[in-house]
Amino acid sequence: MMINTPVLRPWMRGITLCLGFLLVGYATGFASDSTKNAPKGWTLEECVRYALEHNLSLQQGALQVNGAKLDLQAARLAMTPTLNASAGLAFNSGRAIDPFTNTFIERTVESNQLGINGSWLIYQGSQLQHQLKAARLGQGASVQEQEALRNNIALSIANAYLQVLLSRELTTVAQQQKASTANQLTRIRQLVNAGSLQVDNLYNLEAQLASDEVTLTNAMNTAMNARIGLGFAASGPRSGTL
């Protein structure tokens, strides 16, 4: 399904260009970009397309739009004339008296029936006209509601997608901070062992490294929840992560 909604296309293209080739992973962990067997991620436009194709509310709305079209068609047909035709053929066999010889003979009687009737309701207190008008308004309203729902879902997907990207960046920053603290801890431990620094410096960096590990764990949990939230935004409670 191609996304051709005029309202969505400009900002979707802009966000996609700004984000570039940033991807959303399928797995709950974070794989290296250089890993050949890593699953291909999804771009923002692919996420929006998936949501518009699989969202349950949109599918229900499509059924309502089709129902409104049928109501409009029925209202139009109610104003057209009706014509009915029927035909029948019957055979009756039995004994009868020959009027010429006054004797019993076997005889078959054939009968045909043909019928045709029509009707056309010209005026009924403008009831049919009002029904047709109501059906047109109902169809228009259902189409507008469906379009509004599509826009809301696309906006929700864009917000959830950005949350995923933000959480990934925060996780990367937390990983880099932990690695930096670990490197400093190695250097400070060497200086402490050599007697160049007080042991208090070593304890402070060990505490900092433990704090960095907590920050990294929280960032990874936030990133996982963001991917799960993106999956729910796309298809509702039945879907998993994207």
pLDDT tens readout for residues 19-64: 433 433 433 333 334 334 434 567 888 888 888 888 888 888 888 8
Both tokens assigned to 116: 């045709």
Among the residues of the chain, which ranges form H helices? 8-19, 44-54, 56-77, 127-193, 199-235
Question: Is residue 237 over pLDDT 70?
Answer: no
Closest C-alpha to 67, from 156, 167, 135 = 135
Q: Are 227 and 164 within 8 A, CB to CB? A: yes
Separation of first and last alpha carbons in the chain: 18
- Please tell me the least confidently modeled range out of 9-13, 120-124, 219-223: 9-13
Question: Is residue 99 over pLDDT 90?
Answer: no
Over residues 143-169, the pLDDT tens digits come to 999 898 888 888 888 888 899 999 999
**pLDDT value, residue 236:** 54
- Structural domain includes residue 218: yes
Cα(48)–Cα(229) distance, integer angstroms: 14
Domain that holds residue 22: 8-79+123-235
**pLDDT value, residue 211:** 94
Question: Is residue 177 over pLDDT 50?
Answer: yes
Q: pLDDT confidence of 219, banded at 50, 70, 90?
A: very high
- Structural domain includes residue 105: no
Question: pTM of the full predicted structure?
Answer: 0.55
Question: Is residue 5 over pLDDT 50?
Answer: no
Give helix 44-54 / helix 199-235 axis angle, nearest 10°: 40
- Structural domain includes residue 73: yes
Q: b/e map of 205-222 (b: 16 or more CB within 10 Å)?
A: beebbeebeebbeebbeb
Share of the chain above pLDDT 90, in %: 17
- Structural domain includes residue 136: yes
More confident residue, 74 or 1: 74
CB atoms within 10 A of CB 139: 21
Question: Is residue 192 over pLDDT 60?
Answer: yes
Mean of the per-residue pLDDT values of the chain: 76
Average pLDDT over residues 174-189: 92
Instruction: Kindly tell me the sign of the dihedral angle through the C-alpha atoms of 3, 7, 8, 11.
Output: positive
Cα(25)–Cα(42) distance, integer angstroms: 7
Cα(83)–Cα(80) distance, integer angstroms: 10
Question: Is residue 18 over pLDDT 70?
Answer: no
Closest C-alpha to 5, from 42, 45, 65, 41 = 45
What's the number of domains the chain is made of?
Answer: 1
Cα(137)–Cα(41) distance, integer angstroms: 43
Residue 195 sits in a domain whose CATH number is: 1.20.1600.10
- Structural domain includes residue 67: yes
Would you say how long the chain is, in residues? 242
Both tokens assigned to 46: 């692919």
- Structural domain includes residue 95: no
